[in-house]
A and B are shown apart, each in its own frame.
Chain A
């Protein structure tokens, strides 16, 4: 499958987006802001359709709109970014507005489908550079704020007392989330951004008890989901986004099973079962 140019491009593009999504997703899950990430992707849809309507690049609209919204959400404070109703309203409003933009731009049905569900095979090789640059900038930014972000995510009150500027950290992080969302939307579409941002990160947190290991695992799982999904799509001719969501869901289920097996409640039961099955062991 690597003999095709579009496949090579798809592998590179999805690899870049997956590594960024997994890493950023780890913190998103840790902070309990997955819904905020989801909402940002819908805002991105509005941005992209708006950009098409005004003759601009949809990717620019996507990045720009999510970025502005992410920073704004952060500035409103931790509380808003975790408030279900406010986010839910914003999400549906953004999607409705996106629909209106599409209505005015009548010939955009295929472009809308690509935005909503992704079209990694249609990624232009010239778009790779901007994907790569944005990912590198985001990861460097994440590394720079990483320590205060982790501290503020785990123990906000203690972090505040130690002088961590919570609001700044929150806005900077949501700006990075916005870029990650925009990148993922290229691969799996705005509706399925969850699958690369949240699935692998949540699974990694079930598998790993360590911070460093968890971040690496989240990025690795996201990469595996994306690449395996692409390969499966190539051989089955089913949509790539379907395969990525299926794999992401599967890995998450396995992680839940692994976690409950390792839990102190289940361990004695497991030991008893083991003794029954293999008395000599």
Chain B
């Protein structure tokens, strides 16, 4: 059974066709890295799986059921998490707000709910620092606390939208390792979007590459190649593969790195294109 299946799915935001008749499937228990430039539709794809964006034509199904809102079999970690960083509440309280947040009425945080929150925090190794104020945590710690929320209710598919954004390489590595462990321990499928392939390359089972409204899924060495990416980007792309690292170049420009820089809108002088990135 596939955890997530897109079948000739077309998704529009207004008049703009973000995904055009896209077909792919993420298998149960599989860890898939999702890559693509800004605006390639990574977030939109996840929102479609969550039933938050209508499918113009074709079908999107989650465990063989049509995508609907509030699907309990999906755990989600959205991308815009900046607001939480200004809070003084503890990480635990933030996770707790999510754990029972979908229920109206006089809802108490009972023992079972507390145990579930502690379990989710333990699973990502965040229980210790979740007692601190979420605004005082480091970026990596905060990301783990937020990641734990995706595990609440024991979903079987995790959609993680850019968990590595604005993390340093060491924290990126630990987040990816934890995601891999969660995937293996809990037998959940994970769709993990990122700007750069390299932090993910050793952990993922397959890669889903988006570009130009199309999507290609497969093993990294088959998808991340010059011909496939040239087709997705609609421009000549070279892929340089050194040991475990991939460099996706459009002419002189390192595509992935540039996309990343654009996203963070990081100021500062343009660095030498030829230096190797970590």
Contacts and interface: CB of A to CB of B under 8 A. Distances in A.
Nearest to A153: B97
Contacts of B50: 161
A146 B100 CA distance: 10
Contacts of B89: 154, 209-211, 214
Contacts of A157: 78-80
A147 B100 contact: yes
Contacts of A245: none
Contact of B52 (A148, A152, A161): A161
Nearest to B161: A157
A27 to B, nearest CB: 12
B116 interface: no
A158 B78 contact: yes
A141 B50 CA distance: 29
Contacts of B104: 144-145, 147-148
A206 interface: yes
Contacts, number: 88
Contacts of A205: 88
Contacts of B84: 154-155
B258 interface: no
A160 B105 CA distance: 18
Contacts of A210: 89-90, 93
A150 interface: yes
B103 interface: yes
A162 B75 CA distance: 9
| Chain B interface SS verdict (over half) | loop
B244 to A, nearest CB: 33
A148 B102 contact: yes
A264 B105 CA distance: 37
Contact of A206 (B88, B98, B105): B88
A151 B90 contact: no
Interface string B83-126: 11001111001101110111111110000000000000000000
B177 interface: no
Contacts of B97: 147, 150-151, 154-155, 211
B129 interface: no
Interface string A119-154: 000000000000000000000000111111011101
A100 B103 CA distance: 45
A163 interface: yes
Nearest to B106: A143
Contact of B103 (A143, A147, A209, A263): A147
A163 to B, nearest CB: 2
B136 interface: yes
Contact of B78 (A146, A161, A206, A208): A161
Nearest to B93: A211
A147 B107 contact: yes
B69 interface: yes
Interface in B200-246: none
B99 to A, nearest CB: 9
Contacts of A53: none
Nearest to B108: A147
A224 interface: no
Nearest to A147: B107
B27 to A, nearest CB: 22
B88 A158 contact: no
Contacts of A151: 97-98, 101-102
B102 A164 contact: yes
A277 to B, nearest CB: 26
A61 to B, nearest CB: 31
B98 to A, nearest CB: 6
Nearest to B49: A161
A205 B102 CA distance: 23
Q: Identify the interface centre among A145, A160, A206, A263: most chain B CB within 10 Å of its CB.
A: A160
Interface string A168-189: 0000000000000000000000
B70 interface: yes
Contacts of A209: 88-90, 93, 133
A207 B76 CA distance: 31
Contacts of B96: 211
Q: Sort A-B residue pairs by CB-CB distance and give the 3 closest, nearest first.
A: A163-B70, A151-B101, A157-B78
Given A147-B100, A155-B97, A157-B80, 6 more contacts: A147-B103, A157-B79, A158-B78, A163-B70, A164-B101, A210-B93
10 contacts: A147-B107, A148-B103, A151-B98, A151-B101, A154-B94, A164-B101, A164-B102, A209-B89, A211-B93, A211-B96
